[in-house]
Amino acid sequence: MKTRELGSLEVSELGLGCMNMAGNYNPPADHQQSIKTIRTAFENGVTFFDTAEVYGPYTDEILVGEALQPFRDQVKIATKFGFAIDGTVALDSRPKRIKKVVEESLKRLRTDYIDLYYQHRVDPNVPIEDVAGTIKDLIQQGKVLHFGLSEASPRTIRRAHAVQPVSAVQSEYSMWTRNVELNGVLKTCEELGIGFVPWSPLGSGFLTGKYDTTTKFDKETDFRAGFPRYSKEFMPLNMPLIEWLKGYAANKNAKPSQVALAWLLAKSPSIVPIPGTRFEDHLLENLGAQNLVLTQKDFQDIDTMLSKFPIYGERMGEAHMSSIDYTL
């Protein structure tokens, strides 16, 4: 697999998001199955793995640490801090807490350094300069190698970068969610030499073509049950996009997921998508995107078609959207 750079951090051009192994989009996956999927990803060239303390909470970091321990020095691990983890979506990025939770993450991940440490959500009660300064101290101590931000606005990115260089910014980005093209985030990252990591690059599974208006999500175990785009009201209105994508992929002898990921890879050499899955067959399908080369005409044709499909409904539920650093 080819590699790309997030700032000065070199990673595989496709990473693996490990969140749903701990739940959120279904009950938690089988532990051994998840370990096997993570190691299969490594065997197929993936060197960039994404987790967070809040996934589980905590269990996902434990899983990732165990799975990657045999080849820790050959991979890059990204994890995150910033949620209060109190049963709500409250935030807590006080320097004192960051210094505490980084030690806990290091233990769970079975490592003495974190390659990329993201602030999971911007805490409005803590100046971003204080957060960046704390990470700068951790970098000087060797506990963290690179600093990242998740769902941050251009203004926040600039303020943080002035204190401690930001290597990567992570936000939701896909054919189904293109906010960062409009709100200045991508432009700011390009200007400052910051890498960009799209999470949910397959639209929480929508862009795989495996869901339709008959799909039901468990309100107890699946966040998507509360996502407006998946609601009975909006799902039928969003289906024309996926029907077009299925047809386009068939003409390319590819899967819809592969087209969606190849489109992101073609956007910029500084973009590294992290599609998440717990299943090996889905993993291998996603990795096939690296073999789908889109020409400039393909790219333009896709963008032209995407402009014809308005997206109905917000990308997440109200509680989760309340912690985003921008609204556009």
The reply to whether omega before 165 is within 30° of 0 (cis) is no
Smallest Cα–Cα separation from 156: which of 93, 240, 102? 93
115 touches 78 (CB < 8 A): yes
Separation in Å, CA 138 to CA 101, 113, 252: 12, 10, 47
Q: Which helix (H) or strand (E) element contains residue 78?
A: strand 76-81
User: Would residue 55 show up in a list of annotated catalytic residues for this protein?
Assistant: yes
From first CA to last CA, the distance across the chain in angstroms is 34
Let me know how long the chain is.
Answer: 328
Nearest in space to 75 (alpha carbons), one of 4, 12, 118, 142: 12
SS (H, E, C) 142-173: CCECCEEEECCCHHHHHHHHHHCCEEEEEEEC
- Across 272-298, b (16+ Cβ under 10 Å) vs e yields bbbbbbbebebbebbbbbbebebeeeb
Residue 250, classed as helix, strand or coil, is: helix
Q: Which among 25, 55, 173, 230 is annotated as catalytic?
A: 55
Burial class (CB in 10 A: 0-12, 13-18, 19+), 182: exposed
Could you count the other beta carbons within 10 Å of the beta carbon of residue 125? 8
As annotated, the active-site residues are 55
